[in-house]
Amino acid sequence: MIGNVAGIRPYRRGSVRIEAQRLHDRTLIHNYGHGGAGITLSPGSALEVLDLLQAIQPGVQHVAVLGCGVNGLTVATRLVEMGVRVQVFAEDFPPDTTSDVAGGQFAPSLVAHGRDDAERELFQRSVQRSFEHYATLVGRGFGVFPRLNYTTEQSGSALRQVPVRDDGPVQAFEQLPIEGVQSSGYGFSTFLIEPPTYLARLRADLLTQGVEFRHARFDRVEDLRDLTADALINCLGLGAGDLFGDEQVVPIRGQLVHLEAQDLPYLLSHSGYLFSRSDVLVLGGTVERGVRDAVASPQRCDQLLQRHRRFFDSQ
């Protein structure tokens, strides 16, 4: 066994928060609360942020991005493409953020879908735009791979949100085509996004393009006053809830077991999920609401391992 990892999903009740406000005479756009789907939704969320920024402050020249997880890096990338000067401020940088803990499947799971029509539409648009964006990164050194996700009948509600790709509709199987598995289920075309490769590549590209990365810790909203940018984008994940007193933000701990990588060209979802990246094979599927301690519990990870064993033993 290679090891266990744990991280805290920055879940937000109701919806991901993509919203603008005025702060210290500047535009501040919030972009946080992606729960268990930050890798999945970050490209679409970044486009929503840019749409808002261009509507409120067209021609903005200098933006401070707060946070250097997948959302901060993705927003920074889109801003640089627009020719904006970007500074990224964060306490932790890859490989030490929650985004680095993520398994890396494209699946909008453990994230709120919105409370009203406008929020639900925004969510669906973000899923769609993200999916289309990841399709453009395949084969270009970003660690993004097209994959089939096989899911049993009982699992996969989040997978049913994955848009259908041109090259393969959702397939139903009387028996999933995996050795040793008898269960019926579905196959969805989706993506595997390997966080170690993806986050490192985003950051390296930004460094090449002259983006400044600055270490900073914001304990009070007042701490943001000294930043000199014309606009701020809040991609602080769980930290955004603390800084802005957002009581809708709820930590949800997740733990993963990392085993040795195998040559598995698919993802599998049953009562847990498993897939292999090029560095490790990932077993996941734990959900601990309200827990903020990002330390893996050997007992909990052993239970996760047993859950996966029971699935194969029951076949």
Chain positions 277 to 306 lying near ligand FAD, rule: CB under 6 A, are: 284
- Tokens standing for 108? 């909008």
Residues 247-276 interacting with ligand FAD (rule: CB under 6 A)? 254, 256
Of 148, 214, 156, which is closest to residue 177 (Cα–Cα)? 148
In the set 224, 233, 236, 250, which binds ligand FAD (CB under 6 A)?
A: 236
Looking at residue 187, its amino acid is G
Question: Which of 49, 64, 235, 296 forms a contact with ligand FAD (CB under 6 A)?
Answer: 235
Name which position in 72, 185, 272, 285 contacts ligand FAD (CB under 6 A). Answer: 72
Least spacing, CB of residue 206 vs ligand FAD, in Å: 13
For the chain, the distance separating the N- and C-terminal CA atoms, rounded to the nearest angstrom, is 23
Q: Does position 36 bind ligand FAD by CB under 6 A?
A: yes
Buried b (16+ CB within 10 A) or exposed e, 270-280: bebbbbbbeeb
State the nearest-atom distance from the C-beta of 78 to ligand FAD, in Å. 14
Residue nearest to ligand FAD (CB): 239
3-state DSSP percent of the chain in helix, strand and coil, to 5 = 35, 30, 35
For the CB of residue 137, give the shortest distance to ligand FAD in the complex, in Å: 14
**Which residue(s) pair with 252 in the sheet?**
9, 289
Q: Which of 218, 229, 250, 274 binds ligand FAD (CB under 6 A)?
A: 218
Distance between CA atoms of residues 112 and 22, nearest Å: 25
Does 192 contact ligand FAD by CB under 6 A?
no
Stretch that binds ligand FAD, among 18-26, 127-135, 144-152, 214-222 (CB under 6 A): 214-222
Counting contacts by CB under 6 A, is residue 45 touching ligand FAD?
no
Of the ranges 75-83, 146-154, 229-237, 262-270, which one interacts with ligand FAD (CB under 6 A)?
Answer: 229-237
DSSP string across 255-300: EEEEEE-----EEEESSSEEEE-SSEEEEE---EET-------HHH
Least gap, CB of 180 to ligand FAD (angstroms):
24
As given in the structure block, the two tokens for residue 54 are 């261009």
Would you count residue 77 as binding ligand FAD (CB under 6 A)? no
Count CB atoms within 10 A of the CB of residue 64. 24
The rounded distance, in Å, linking the Cα atoms of 9 and 288 is: 10
Q: How far is the CB of 143 from ligand FAD (least distance, A)?
A: 13
User: What's the Cα-to-Cα distance from 99 to each of 35, 59, 93, 276, rounded to whole Å?
Assistant: 11, 30, 10, 17
Per-residue tokens: 30: 């919030």
Considering only 15, 97, 149, 151, the residue that binds ligand FAD (CB under 6 A) is 97
**Closest distance to ligand FAD from the beta carbon of 175 (Å):** 26
- Give whichever of 59 and 238 is closer to ligand FAD, judged by the CB atom: 238
Footprint on this chain of ligand FAD (rule: CB under 6 A): 7, 9-10, 32, 34-40, 67-72, 90-92, 97-99, 101-105, 107, 216-218, 235-239, 243, 254, 256, 284
